[in-house]
Chain A
Amino acid sequence: MDLRFTPEELGFRDEVRAFFRANLPEGIRTKLAEGKKLAKDDIVIWQRILNKKGWAVANWPVEWGGTGWTPVQQYIFQEELQLTPAPQPLGFGVTMVGPVVIAFGSEEQKRRHLPAIANLDVWWCQGFSEPGAGSDLASLRTAAKRDGDYYIVNGQKTWTTLAQHADWIFCLVRTDPQAKKQEGISFLLIDMKTPGVTVRPIITIEGGHEVNEVFFDDAKVPAENLVGQENKGWDYAKYLLGRERTGIARVGLSKERIRRIKELAAMERLGDKPLIEDERFREKLAAVEVELKALEMTQLRVVAAERHRTDNKPDPASSILKIKGSEIQQATTELLMEVVGPYAMPYQPERDDEERWNEPSIGPEWAGPIAPTYFNWRKTSIYGGTNEIQKNIIAKAILGL
């Protein structure tokens, strides 16, 4: 048992760090560090830089452009992305639909989609949730009816993140309405330009546009876009959700947030001294840091155990990552609210570069995104399976209750 990184692992970290420092456009880094919205191009530009280096799809098999890194190296790479901070390669392609296509797709699908995912030539979004199928995902009703060489798709998806940028959507659709609910579902790839597909924005409480509704109205989808076998889509979805075990804790992001909290709290004043010197504030911050250190160690336990894994069963420790990770992220957003104080109040929606005002910001220039981030971050204990659903899963799969 040696919980330190080996010299080779430290060397790898330095290499990754140096590459990020030399190649990440400063404007993108600043936006992320200040909690501002990234433009589509920011994400595309960075992923193409990574892809040129061979690092965009680090988690894939080597034959499809993966790196062959160890689980610890994968972890270090993720951690460095979050600490820099740099954008993650687009998850809908790289960690979701890509691995499913690799595992279950046809050769034709692999050749067509995988290189485009890696280079972000094609932007993917995820069509799982529906208005009547949230935590109870398997009750989804969007129907795909086979008609010759096509599926005719009718229904509605919702909470579709960044569908406004998307070229393609991977969907869970019901292909057998008679079967038991998990057994009549298929995994279908749909071009967003297909006639009958429309996207409508959902504005979330902070005022931002991240998520959308996607409507399918007699959309005609070529049958060759079915992944794997018809009515096996639920298994593929479980494979997809089970693979991403450690990224969701976002330890690096919370570390970077804490660094930012300290930086800002040293500038803000409480009475005649900096806020960072207030005992009560420091204790709250220290308590979050303790939880985060524990989560980091828990995450490393999961990462280190990866190499022993022979089945697809989750490590008991991995169950913690989503729940604790989201709670800690939310706690950091609350601390930032405390730092900004009354200048949390002015509502200053972000504008895209082309419509940027010349007016100065109201209050401290860093204050604008803090309250919106706090509001927006309530999503983290809801998406990807609410924390309550996570507890149901743990109770059943790990505790056997």
Chain B
Amino acid sequence: MDFDLSDEQRLFKESLERLLGDRYAFEQRKGYGQSPVGWSRDLWAQYAELGLLGLPFPEGYGGAGGGYVETMIAMEAFGRALTLEPFFATVVLGGGFLRHGGGAEQCAELVPKIAEGSLTLAFAHTERHSRYDLADIETKAVRDGSGWVLEGEKGVVLHGDSADKLIVTARTAGARRDRDGVGVFLVDGKADGVSRRGYPTQDGLRAAEIAFAQVRVGSEGVLGEPGAALPLVERVVDEAIAALCAEAVGAMAIMHELTIDYLKTRRQFGREIGSFQILQHRAVDMLIALEQARSMAMFATMMAAEENGAERGNAISAAKVQIGRSGKFVGQQAIQLHGGIGMTMEYKLGHYFKRVTMIDTMFGDADHHLRALARDGASPAAG
């Protein structure tokens, strides 16, 4: 039982925080967001230099050999800085598919490019009707010689507008929500038949609606086992949720810090508003929500490594419930305690609130995961 970071991990955390401290002031961030891709290629190169982009990959492929704790450290720092770059889409989601579903040749070809910053990825999965059901896929993959042909539409693909390659889920067999018959395919973002409509998201990131019209994928573009890839998707999504939890904790921590600072400086009725007990108690309730969320982000990080899918899924769901509930409370109360200034676009608080709110809608909100736990987790056998 040990919650301490190793010296190496602490050093890594400090160097990343230093970089973000220098380069990610709120005003600088606005500038990055205005670039055509919506993020900074310059910062991306800096991340590569720091070894961040190869973080979770084995050293044999040019990665840094980091584990889930390193990913947690990075995501929390990104949450604190509210970064725009596609680390989550490329390294966590895309990297997850390569680590768990990629063959040796695919990894040897792609991982070095990710690590050096010349390849970005996006996960094209959600469809208009599927909400948070990972198996609810209509996009078709039809055998074509040694390869496949994809046909269908994907939505809300995070960083899908700028990604060099797309990781696409498609059905090789079966009906819409069947667990069997799911495949995962790697498609070039500029391939014939791919059309992308990019747009900004509420929280200042970018996403895309993407149509696939008779898109050909060679055998080198198959990840995992076509027709039996749902467990791969679940595994990668579980890891991604753990990473999102850490990002949310970083963002919540900043919202709490901003609020405490504000309570100490804002004066009304001739005194600091932080001297009012009702606001003090609210701030304590926010702290409790934050610390409970931090505990669960750590729990999710630990359980991301669990091989038993049911146990891992329950733990990840529990964490996402806590993150969703804490995030909503901390975010709403941070805005409330700031009053009018919290409502303005030019103040950074609202941007953190929006990010945390959007994290709740990614891969299942608090209610979705509570339902999942109630279905699978609360039985006497599992207790």
Chain A residues packing against B (C-beta within 8 Å): 1-6, 9, 72, 258-259, 262-263, 266, 276, 279, 282-283, 285-287, 289-291, 293-295, 297-298, 300-301, 303-305, 316-317, 319-320, 323-324, 388, 391-392, 394-395, 398-401
Contact = CB atoms under 8 A, between A and B. Distances in A.
A294 B325 CA distance: 12
Given A303-B1, A401-B260, A294 B287 contact: no
A401 B275 contact: yes
Contacts of A319: 284, 287-288
Contacts, number: 138
Contacts of A282: 374-375, 378
A289 B288 contact: no
B277 to A, nearest CB: 7
Contacts of B308: none
A3 B3 contact: yes
Interface string B248-268: 000000000000100110000
Nearest to A293: B318
Contacts of A72: 1
B296 to A, nearest CB: 5
B284 A395 contact: yes
Contact of A289 (B6, B292, B377): B377
Given A287-B321, A394-B287, A324 B292 contact: yes
B1 A320 contact: no
Interface string B361-383: 00000000011011101111001
Given A290-B318, A291-B292, A320-B288, A2 B1 contact: yes
7 contacts: A3-B2, A4-B302, A259-B383, A266-B380, A276-B379, A317-B291, A401-B279
B48 interface: no
A262 B1 contact: no
B274 interface: yes
A291 B277 CA distance: 26
Nearest to A288: B378
B299 interface: yes
A285 B373 CA distance: 10
B333 to A, nearest CB: 13
A300 B277 CA distance: 30
B374 A283 contact: yes
Interface of B: 1-6, 9, 69, 260, 263-264, 274-275, 277, 279-281, 283-285, 287-288, 291-293, 295-296, 298-299, 301-302, 318, 321-322, 370-371, 373-375, 377-380, 383
A276 B1 contact: no
A304 B5 CA distance: 12
Given A297-B298, A398-B287, A401-B275, 19 more contacts: A3-B2, A282-B378, A283-B370, A286-B321, A286-B378, A293-B318, A294-B296, A300-B3, A305-B3, A316-B287, A317-B291, A317-B295, A319-B287, A319-B288, A320-B288, A392-B280, A395-B284, A399-B284, A401-B264
Nearest to A9: B1
B286 to A, nearest CB: 9
B338 to A, nearest CB: 15
A301 B3 contact: yes
Given A1-B4, A304-B3, A297 B295 contact: yes
Nearest to B69: A1
A335 to B, nearest CB: 11
Nearest to B263: A401
B6 A1 contact: yes
B2 A298 contact: no
B274 A401 contact: yes
B264 A293 contact: no
Contacts of A303: 1
Contact of B283 (A290, A324, A395): A395
Nearest to A301: B3
B280 A395 contact: yes
Contacts of B299: 3, 293-294, 297
B296 A276 contact: no
Contacts of A324: 288, 292
Contact of A1 (B2, B284, B379): B2
Contacts of A391: 280-281, 284-285
A351 B371 CA distance: 42
Contacts of A283: 370-371, 374
Contacts of B283: 395, 399, 401
A87 B315 CA distance: 31
A290 B322 contact: yes
Contacts of B1: 2-6, 9, 72, 300, 303-304
A290 B4 contact: no
A308 B69 CA distance: 21
Contacts of B301: 3
Contact of A285 (B4, B5, B260, B374): B374
Contacts of A276: 378-380
A388 B5 CA distance: 34
Given A4-B302, A401-B280, A286 B295 contact: no
A397 B375 CA distance: 42
A93 to B, nearest CB: 28
B378 A2 contact: no
Nearest to B5: A1
Max chain B CB contacts within 10 Å: which of A298, A305, A401?
A: A401
Contacts of B318: 289-290, 293-294
Contact of A262 (B4, B288, B383): B383
Minimum-distance CB pairs A-B, first 9: A297-B295, A395-B280, A282-B374, A286-B373, A294-B292, A401-B274, A3-B302, A283-B374, A391-B284
Contacts of A286: 321, 370, 373-374, 377-378
Contact of A301 (B284, B295, B378): B295
A142 B287 CA distance: 37
A395 B288 CA distance: 11
Contacts of A297: 295-296, 298-299
A262 B287 CA distance: 31
A1 B3 contact: yes
A294 B375 contact: no
A287 B277 CA distance: 29
A265 to B, nearest CB: 8
Contacts of A290: 296, 318, 321-322, 370, 373
A293 B287 contact: no
B296 A262 contact: no
A295 B3 contact: no
A279 B370 CA distance: 11
A34 B299 CA distance: 31
Max chain A CB contacts within 10 Å: which of B274, B284, B373, B377?
A: B284
Contacts of B9: 1
Nearest to A303: B1
B292 A298 contact: yes
Contact of B380 (A3, A5, A262, A305): A262
A90 B52 CA distance: 53
A384 B314 CA distance: 34
B325 to A, nearest CB: 8
B378 A289 contact: yes
Nearest to B70: A1
